[in-house]
Chains A and B, each alone.
Chain A
Amino acid sequence: MALYQTRIGTRGYRFDDLKAVLACASPRRSGDELAGLAADNDEQRVAARRVLAELPLRHFLDEALVPYEDDEVTRLIVDTHDTAAFAPVADLTVGEFRDWLLSYDATGAALGALAPGLTPEMVAAVSKLMRNQDLIAVAAKCRVVTAFRTTLGLPGRLGSRLQPNHPTDDPMGIAASTLDGLLFGIGDAVIGINPASDSVPDTIRLLDMLDELRQRFEIPTQSCVLAHVTTSLRAIERGAPLDLVFQSIAGSEAANRGFGIDLAVLREGLAAARSLKRGTVGDNVMYFETGQGSALSADAHHGVDQQTMEVRAYAVARAFEPLLVNTVVGFIGPEYLYDAKQIIRAGLEDHCCGKLLGLPMGVDVCYTNHAEADQDDMDTLMTLLATAGVNFVIAVPGADDVMLSYQSLSYHDVLGLRHLTARRPAPEFEAWLARIGLLDANGALPPPARDARALRQLLALNG
């Protein structure tokens, strides 16, 4: 058994096991304090990082944080580990791995080839040694391209999910928020509704409505009703026009059971959605959401810190070749991420770790009203994420989600971010925006004139 100990000055530090090293090495956050796993003080936190920095990466292949016998997520991670892909970094310590990730040798191509060789625990470990700037720089080198009716993750692009939620799933209300978003060029990643009701008939009704809207205006994008995977399966059986199968996922078998899922039902979802062959430029058909704290809130964290559990959820996601994955970083509440500092850090961690594992990572840049955060903080996080090359962000009208009662980005925010950072929508969607007359000669999307054709056509829709 390895000894996890170090000295800082005259004081010795010793950690009981690998879980303790990882938890104590995490930047301070309320969820780990709630779980009783966090470092007692800042010096102990750095001591844990020193121990972590000297651990060989290989060590994570030998010591499982969640037992192989008890957990199908661990079995997935171990059984699908690609030894050949791992070879280039196999002899590095975690600290050396950080240096390598930041080096000029670690090109986008090298990082892409390495992804199947990395386990989530390795990625979580190295992220704990990285500053925010490191998380941005390394993520910006990664390139993960996926496609369905649009192609996402290309250089110079920033995708957006249009989230037209309504407290009672009213079709006119949802259409209103959708049309408003389209006028801002939002929706190239997906038009995705969080339904108030998870019933099969209601889900089908919303899928029909979104599909009709998409076809009427010939919008090259995909739609999604974020119902439970089993609801989507029933909807597919009944012939609903379903593009993407959605599911919330977490980093342990027990936490996934709390969501009412296992890997087998996700495989069913993937096969069913693929069988419809609705994609035109690609067949990535899965959409996953994750968030730090979900395993702890299900009492299924196995004594592992929340950030490591989050990265384990990405190992679940990558087995299903998803079109979209996003962390709902500020949604889960201040008992997991207390304030803007913690939310911003976690958003950058989640994005970078997802990208290192080869995921098409997006972020819901968001917060609840009981967190110590506001729109100024979201401005900061979205700008950092755009710099880091985030695949997509989520937008709602005026930043106010009237169904889930939290704040995300506004349509305005995403449009402004695209113009500011010179990032455009997905190419297929961009061509549509040009066709309906919303783009100017430079490819920007200025405020439409009162009599603009797009405004007249879209808003004249009969509900």
Chain B
Amino acid sequence: MNELPPDPSPDDPRQDPFARWRTATRARIGLGRAGDALPTAALLDFQAAHSRARDAVHGRVDFDAIAAQLAGTFAAPPLRVRSRAADRAVYLRRPDLGRRVHADDLPQLQAAAAGGAGFELAFVVADGLSAAAVNAHAAPLLAQLAPRLAGWRLAPVVLASQARVALGDEVAEALGARLVAVLIGERPGLSVADSLGIYLTYAPRVGCLDAARNCISNIHADGLGYARAADTLCWLLDEARRLRLTGVALKLDAPPASLGNSGTSITSGDIGSSSHE
């Protein structure tokens, strides 16, 4: 036997020359070789991770279950909207359609608009690119947020299917809400398929640029926890209300960690890397 074992023990340095290196990275190093190819176990590990990511992209959010979970959290029942993308295949090809509310679903939003001073904040739960993230994290996160927002005039939660971040702009415009927070499934990677993001926009309207938003990303079991994410969002909400803006200017003096700006990142080499929504 003069090849590396196909399934090296990660713990014993005598068995695994990569043992000390594995703790430094999640990268798939020291996989061994079957000839020039991946050993079977590593091959199937990869396929399992890819299948979870694919299933997250193509899965369905169980909005009925989320509505039921929210019943104890918010007084007003949630509203349901569709985007103009008829199905997942269209959604993936046509981001422009995923950013707009289906024409038939706008009147109910307009009917729900508050009179007088209007709503201060609307939550939109959007499927985005990971049904798994929304199914797992949307309701528990909102349950953490609700008690922190006692003084806020909240619009009914809107549950949106085949939706991208910018769909929240049109929803908030129809509801007459000053701020919109979109909870959305992020593009899955091989290591995490159920990561949720929150995009916050002040004075949302159709055509808002991404640079005008703030983003909290990486909410999942091994990432940002619900309580921390809720605290961060509440800090951003207070600042957004005080400064009357979101986006780059709000980021500048942001103290909490985990804050990011969703403006198109063009500085880190490869192009298109901001398309996490």
Contact = CB atoms under 8 A, between A and B. Distances in A.
A447 B4 contact: yes
B140 interface: no
A137 B190 CA distance: 35
B258 interface: no
Contacts of A226: 268-270
Contacts of B28: 397-400, 410
> Which bucket holds chain B's interface residue count?
35 or more
B36 interface: yes
A228 B49 CA distance: 32
Contacts of B57: 369-370
B242 interface: no
Interface in B187-223: 187-191
B252 interface: no
A398 B3 CA distance: 18
A396 B275 CA distance: 21
Contact of A407 (B21, B56, B96, B190): B190
A338 B93 contact: yes
Contact of A30 (B35, B53, B93): B93
A42 to B, nearest CB: 18
B32 to A, nearest CB: 8
B33 A396 contact: no
B272 A297 contact: yes
A333 interface: yes
**How big is the A interface, by class?**
35 or more
B88 to A, nearest CB: 9
Interface string B95-111: 11000000000000000
Contact of A412 (B2, B36, B129, B187): B36
B50 to A, nearest CB: 7
B189 A227 contact: no
Interface in B19-49: 21-22, 24-33, 35-38, 42, 46, 49
28 contacts: A172-B25, A180-B30, A196-B268, A197-B268, A248-B269, A260-B266, A289-B271, A290-B271, A293-B272, A294-B271, A333-B275, A370-B129, A370-B187, A397-B27, A397-B29, A398-B28, A398-B42, A402-B191, A405-B188, A407-B50, A410-B28, A412-B31, A412-B36, A415-B36, A416-B37, A447-B4, A447-B33, A450-B4
Interface of B: 2-4, 17-18, 21-22, 24-33, 35-38, 42, 46, 49-50, 53-54, 56-57, 92-96, 129, 187-191, 264, 266-273, 275
Which 8 pairs show the lowest CB-CB distances between chains A and B?
Answer: A398-B28, A405-B189, A226-B269, A173-B25, A416-B36, A172-B24, A176-B21, A369-B53
